[in-house]
Amino acid sequence: MDMTSLPGEALLQRTERDGVITLCMNRPLQFNALSEAMLDAMRRELDSIAMDPTVRCVVLAGAGKAFCAGHDLREMTKSPRLTYYQALFARCSLVMQGIQMLPVPVIARVHGVATAAGCQLVASCDLAIASESARFAVSGINVGLFCSTPAVALSRNVSSKRAFDMLVTARFIDAATAADWGLINEAVPDGELDEAIARKTAEILTKSPTAIRYGKSMFYRQRQMALGDAYAYASDVMARNMMEEDAAEGVDAFLEKRPACWRS
C-alpha cells in the first residue's frame, strides 16, 4: 500500500477493493494533523460508508511518515474563542463516535507516531495493527492542555492508571507496550504492516456480514449497561440474529462439515 501521497491531492483519499475501504489521511507534511477540513472529510466518508451495505471493513491509514499527530495546533490558535473550541472538540468527538457507530469493523493501520487526537483515533477504532517502530502518546499536557477528549477513548482501552500516567506525563509508549496494554491488537515488523492488515481483513471477509453488523452494534451498546440489562439486550440481539438466513446457513454448514455460503 502506497502511503506517500502528495500534498496537492485530496485530504482524505478513499480506495476500495473487495468490500474493504481504505481511508488515507493525506497531510503528510503536517503529520496528518486533524484540521477542520480533515474532520469534515472524515465525517462525510463515515456517513457515506454507513449507508453502503456492500462495505465489509474499513482501514484507516495515514500518508507520509506518521499516522496522525493530533489536532492542528496552528489552525486552532487562529480563533482563540471558547465557542470555537467547544465546536471543534464536539466535531472531533462526533468523528470518533462515528467510527464506532459504523456497522462494519474499522482497523487502524498505524506507523510513525499517533499522538493526542491521533492516539484517540487509534483507541476509537475497533481494531489496530501497528508497525514495531510506531509510538503512541497523549501529549497535550506538554503545551498546557490536558488531553480530555483523547482520555475518553484511551481510558476505554487501557487501565485507568496506565491511561492517567500517559495523560499527565505525555510519555511515549512503543508498539510492543501498546499491544501489551490493549491499545492495539498487534505490533508487526515495519515491512510487514500491510501484510498483517491484509490478513486481518481477509479473516473478516470470511465471516457473515449480517452477524458482524449485529455484533458490532451490540458490543458497544452493552458496555454502557448494567450487567443484567446487558444480558437482556444481548439475548434479544442474539435471538434476532438467529432468525437471519446467514445463521441458518452457518449452522447447516457446520453440521454438514462444509464451508458456509453467506446469503447477506
Domain-ending residue, one of 163, 181, 205: 205
Percent of the residues in the chain that have a pLDDT greater than 70, as a whole number? 97
Q: What are phi and psi of 174, to 5 degrees?
A: -85, 175
Find the domain containing 228 and state its range. 209-255
Q: Residue 72's closest CA among 93, 88, 61, 86?
A: 88
Do 143 and 236 fall within a single domain? no
Do 76 and 104 fall within a single domain? yes
Q: What is the domain-level CATH number for residue 22?
A: 3.90.226.10
Residue 148 lies in a domain: yes
Residue 71: CB atoms within 10 A of its CB come to 27
165 CB-contact burial (10 Å; exposed 0-12 / middle 13-18 / buried 19+): middle
Residue 176 lies in a domain: yes
Give the pTM: 0.94
Contact between residue 113 and residue 31 where contact means Cβ atoms under 8 Å apart: yes
Do 152 and 250 fall within a single domain? no
- The tens digit of pLDDT for each residue in 16-47 reads 999 999 999 999 999 999 999 999 999 999 99
**SS (HEC) of 122-186:** HHHCCEEEEECCCEEECCHHHHCCCCHHHHHHHCCCCCHHHHHHHHHHCCCEEHHHHHHHCCCCE
Q: For residue 9, what pLDDT is reported?
A: 75
The one-letter amino acid at 138: V
Mean pLDDT of 199-227: 96
Q: For residue 2, what pLDDT is reported?
A: 47
Residue 98 lies in a domain: yes
How many domains would you assign to the chain? 2
Residue 203's contacts (CB-CB under 8 Å, 6 or more residues apart) are none
Mean pLDDT of 45-53: 96
Q: What is the domain-level CATH number for residue 223?
A: 1.10.12.10
Residue 161 lies in a domain: yes
Do 150 and 227 fall within a single domain? no
Mean pLDDT of 211-229: 95
Do 59 and 186 fall within a single domain? yes
Do 57 and 98 fall within a single domain? yes
Contact between residue 119 and residue 31 where contact means Cβ atoms under 8 Å apart: no
Do 168 and 241 fall within a single domain? no
Residue 5 lies in a domain: no
- Cα separation values, 72 from 3, 24, 36, 45, Å: 20, 17, 8, 20
Measured CA to CA, the distance from residue 65 to residue 67 in angstroms comes to: 7
Q: What are phi and psi of 144, to 5 degrees?
A: 80, 20
262 CB-contact burial (10 Å; exposed 0-12 / middle 13-18 / buried 19+): middle
Q: For residue 11, what pLDDT is reported?
A: 94
Q: Is 35 left (phi over 0), alpha (psi -120 to 50) or beta?
A: beta
The residue behind cell 458496555 is 223
Averaged pLDDT score across all residues of the chain = 95
- The tens digit of pLDDT for each residue in 112-166 reads 999 999 999 999 999 999 999 999 999 999 999 999 999 999 999 999 999 999 9
Residue 120 lies in a domain: yes
Q: Is 264's pLDDT higher than 90? A: no
